[in-house]
């Protein structure tokens, strides 16, 4: 069955960095676009970034552009999110998600909590 | 950025009732719209994509309709497991955005 297992969340100080990893299994990883989506009680769901199956096409939300970098390793069935210059507003549950054929998210992994606080 | 507005914010309904949730886009998103269900402590689950196509394994009591700026999700006969928060999301040009959600509560 499809599994997306996220690691790397935690508590970080403002201005700090964190790297999220997502290990995929149960499907042909190289066939799918992948994404990171975050959720907060106040701002709801925000699609942070996506990356094409080859890694050539990438998009970021304006709120994270220039600070976050999405990448993937198709040989290791893994997705990453490097988060730099973190702010309090980046505090959220971060989901690794598979993008389906219609740019909807057809499978969500379990979330990981990122807390940015001094 | 296209803003997605859902109504109502919350709804109290009884099991067995029919319920319709609304989602409005600030600009046309064609039929590039999905609906998700989220239960407490869980990740969202895809219900509908392309405005009206049920995702794999989604029961037929869930149906979606709409195009352009107006969309609805209908649950024909609410089951106990349907009480959750429902989100719409467009994917008509980046950035893809979500509505703020409609919470279905048991009356």
Question: What's the mean pLDDT in A8-27?
Answer: 97
Chain B residue nearest residue A101, CA to CA? B49
Predicted confidence at residue A82, as pLDDT, reads: 98
The string of DSSP letters for B26-89 reads: SS--TT-EEEEEE-TTS--EEEEETTTEEPTT--TTEEEEEETTEEEEEESS--GGG-SEEEEE
pLDDT value at A42 more than 90: no
Model pLDDT for residues B65-100, shown as the tens digit of each residue: 999 999 999 999 999 999 999 999 999 999 999 999
Q: For strands B10-13 and B102-106, give the pairing.
A: parallel
A5 CB within 8 Å of a chain B CB: no
* Tens-place pLDDT, residues A81-118: 999 999 999 999 999 999 997 789 999 999 999 999 99
Q: Name the residue among A112, A108, A115, A117 with its Cα closest to residue A4.
A: A108
Count the Cβ atoms, other than its own, within 10 Å of residue A43.
13
- Check CB contact under 8 Å for A105 and B34: yes
CA distance A90 to chain B (A): 17
Query: Chain B contact for A47, CB < 8 A?
Result: yes
Mean pLDDT of chain B: 96
What are phi and psi for residue A22, nearest 5 degrees? -135, 120
A105 → chain B, closest CA residue: B46
Q: How far is CA B29 from CA A50, B48, B93, in A?
A: 19, 15, 8
pLDDT for B38 equals 97
% of chain A residues with pLDDT over 90: 94
Q: Across residues B49-60, what is the average pLDDT?
A: 96
Rounded CA-CA distance B48/B52 in Å is 6
Q: Do A104 and B89 touch (CB under 8 A)?
A: yes
Q: How far apart are CA B103 and CA B39, in angstroms?
A: 10
């Amino acid at each position: 069955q499809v599994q997306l297992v996220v690691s790397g969340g935690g508590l970080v100080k403002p201005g700090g960095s964190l790297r999220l990893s997502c290990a995929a299994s149960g499907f042909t990883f190289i066939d799918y676009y992948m994404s990171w989506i975050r959720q907060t009680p106040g701002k709801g769901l925000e699609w942070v970034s996506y990356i094409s199956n080859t890694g050539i096409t990438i998009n970021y939300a304006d709120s994270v552009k220039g600070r976050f970098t999405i990448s993937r390793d198709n040989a290791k069935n893994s997705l990453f999110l490097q988060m730099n210059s973190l702010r309090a507003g980046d505090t959220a549950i971060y989901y690794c998600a598979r993008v389906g054929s219609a740019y909807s998210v057809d499978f969500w992994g379990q979330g990981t909590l990122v807390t940015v606080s001094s | 950025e296209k803003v997605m507005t859902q109504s109502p914010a919350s709804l109290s309904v009884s099991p067995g009732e029919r319920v319709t949730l609304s989602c409005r886009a600030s600009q046309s998103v064609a039929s590039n719209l999905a609906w998700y269900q989220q239960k407490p402590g869980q990740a969202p689950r895809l219900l509908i994509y392309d405005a009206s196509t049920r995702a794999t394994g989604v029961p037929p009591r869930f149906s979606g309709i709409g195009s352009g700026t107006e969309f609805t999700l209908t649950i024909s006969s609410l089951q106990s497991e349907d009480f959750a928060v429902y989100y719409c999301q467009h994917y008509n040009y980046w950035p893809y955005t979500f509505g703020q959600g409609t919470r279905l509560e048991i009356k």
